[in-house]
Structure 1
């Protein structure tokens, strides 16, 4: 998977290192701490159910951990499909390279450079966030004046806020939980974004070939349109693979995004330690930004899919022979069917749906704010 290693870069390396791709035992071991914290936090939420502020703050964090855990299990259960998907992308690269199209290869190299740079930048920013979160937790555990975990946990019959439990859990959360959860989140996110953007690149490449059709004679044009149909069929398969691999993850992202207004109203009314509040705001910002980028790219994917039909219609098919017109009709007909990415197969992931979620979220925020003021 030479091209995939270049394209996905550090994200693919990380997924292999933690065992998500290739070593299930290592992946399960890495998930031990997040899984423990999930159950311990859910138990804490059950114990403090009457305290709305604490419940919302803890529920937001535990939902993130549950998301990462579910995603990892999904990757483990679909390892073969993920590896086949990466192999298909490698095959795309060899196919494009065999066509000896200098413009396409130049664009592909530029696209690959940009994705590698973006991946390294995002990973670098996340490592800085992890360092800050872990340092705050370790310093807090040393001072022991304000005992607070990154993820608040509780177990029956054991007080985890007394020594040595507090120090042990604090260190484990700082050096194990935070790096695994945040890096797994960002690596999976980058894989989604790169995969969708690569599909957009393939669609634009097909549109370019259709747009250059007027430069070809009848025989060359007929040969080119056959290759375009084959490429369009592969793009449709690429879309189906994206749906199979990432649709459920998109649904989880949408669900967590709806919790954001609750979190904001809680943080606006709670007396928080500034250092820990900065940590929580970072997590909220990551979820908001990542959700928006996924929706924006999925919307572009949908638009570029329709643009294939437009590009086919705008090529000089009227002056072509009967066989050429027959093939171009196939592309125009099939291209009018939207290539939509969905959230769990329920709703299309596009900017209209994103705006609808924002409106609903704002309504929730308004209701909660009024309730808090009355209270």
Structure 2
């Protein structure tokens, strides 16, 4: 049974994945049919990019950016489909954890869990409202030109896609199938990552509260409670490892894409004069800056929260316990000295410091491109 889909924490994000057949008891045929339109459009986009590479810099830049975004969407699609069972197990784990905290945890932690749930629902609504506005703008954008244009320009070898009736067919296909598919694959993936990171903060806070509530009235009870906290900490480490496994490749691709595209879009802005292309480039920069910025911000908060466990363990009345309890405290403090960081591609920790480093690197490449263009 897919009971986890009704958990308020996820809002509609998991339901969208289930309806699309990306996770759960889906068939491979359904997933292949869902991927046909993006893949078919992607091939046409590659051909169009080669065809227009020597033409207008504005058109080439926009086509390159859209191809990169489509590539990112396909990467996320393949990751979810390939790790179908791991995604379901991860979501089921959060579902059980969520209900356990509601029933058995400290009122302060339960209140924070409710706040995170409300925050997650607002985050989902904001994301889909923004995506709806972006989709409407993408529908209007082609009609601002005198010649025929697509939402995502495509070219095919055997026929001219801009001639009737091919133009009408492909435009409707992109508007009614491609754009909604892109939104319903890309956005829920981002939302689920952010929600998982916020939930990670809750369980870390729950562990700190459990440590501080350890009583000192009975040595046996004290040792048992502390061992339960060690087991709880092990669950959190497993949670972090599972989350990193599911998003690691996407994180690495997103960093590479963001640093490259930010550099190119800034260079693109310094060359073009068409206000439509300038507004589009600014919108794309803002979108990518928001997505990767908020992801690194939440990942950084999760990492910082994990460092508080050592202080909470030290604040327990370990000095009144036996030698076994003191060894357990030393173990937990030692394990908590290294923050629980998520890494992009298993290499680059998702922290605000690294986010700033990405921005500096992108600006350096932009300055280098500008210097070459002026020579």
5+ long unaligned stretches in structure 1: none
1:320 is aligned to 321
Asked whether the 8 Å contact 1:265–1:369 carries over to 2, the reply is yes
Alpha-carbon spacing, 1:98–1:330, altered in 2? closer, same or farther (3 Å):
farther
* 1:12 CA drift (Å): 0.9
1:269 is aligned to 271
- Alignment partners' CA distance in 2, 1:207 and 1:36: 51
5+ long unaligned stretches in structure 2: none
Match status 1:89 vs 2:94: yes
Asked whether the 8 Å contact 2:251–2:345 carries over to 1, the reply is yes
1:356 is aligned to 357
2:13 is aligned to 11
* 1:215 CA drift (Å): 7.5
Asked whether the 8 Å contact 1:134–1:178 carries over to 2, the reply is no
Asked whether the 8 Å contact 2:49–2:60 carries over to 1, the reply is yes
2:369 is aligned to 368
* 1:83 CA drift (Å): 0.5
- Alignment partners' CA distance in 2, 1:167 and 1:328: 68
What do you get for the CA RMSD once the two structures are aligned? 2.3
CA-to-aligned-CA distance 1:315-353 (integer Å, 9 cap, x gap):
332233323222212211221233221111122221222
Asked whether the 8 Å contact 1:295–1:351 carries over to 2, the reply is yes
Match status 1:30 vs 2:31: no
Among 113, 118, 125, the alignment partner of 2:118 is: 113
Asked whether the 8 Å contact 1:19–1:25 carries over to 2, the reply is no
- Alignment partners' CA distance in 1, 2:154 and 2:210: 57
* 1:73 CA drift (Å): 1.4
CA-to-aligned-CA distance 1:224-261 (integer Å, 9 cap, x gap):
21221111010010011011101011011101101212
1:199 is aligned to 200
Match status 1:133 vs 2:134: no
- Alignment partners' CA distance in 2, 1:14 and 1:117: 17
- Alignment partners' CA distance in 2, 1:29 and 1:278: 34
Greater displacement, 81-90 / 147-156: 147-156
- Alignment partners' CA distance in 1, 2:111 and 2:18: 29
* 1:31 CA drift (Å): 2.3
- Alignment partners' CA distance in 1, 2:292 and 2:285: 11
1:211-250 alignment, distance < 5 Å? 211-213=212-214, 218-250=219-251
How many aligned residue pairs are there? 369
Alpha-carbon spacing, 1:279–1:11, altered in 2? closer, same or farther (3 Å):
farther
* 1:104 CA drift (Å): 2.2
Q: 1:340 is paired with a residue of what secondary structure? A: coil
Asked whether the 8 Å contact 1:4–1:86 carries over to 2, the reply is no
* 1:159 CA drift (Å): 2.1
TM-score by length of 1: 0.90
Asked whether the 8 Å contact 2:216–2:320 carries over to 1, the reply is no
Greater displacement, 50-59 / 294-303: 50-59
Asked whether the 8 Å contact 2:109–2:205 carries over to 1, the reply is no
Alpha-carbon spacing, 1:122–1:78, altered in 2? closer, same or farther (3 Å):
same
1:20 is aligned to 22
- Alignment partners' CA distance in 2, 1:40 and 1:129: 22
Alpha-carbon spacing, 1:103–1:214, altered in 2? closer, same or farther (3 Å):
same
- Alignment partners' CA distance in 2, 1:316 and 1:239: 28
Greater displacement, 70-79 / 30-39: 30-39
* 1:221 CA drift (Å): 3.1
Q: 1:251 is paired with a residue of what secondary structure? A: helix
Structure 1 runs (4+) greater than 4 angstroms displaced? 214-220
Asked whether the 8 Å contact 2:272–2:278 carries over to 1, the reply is no
TM-score by length of 2: 0.90
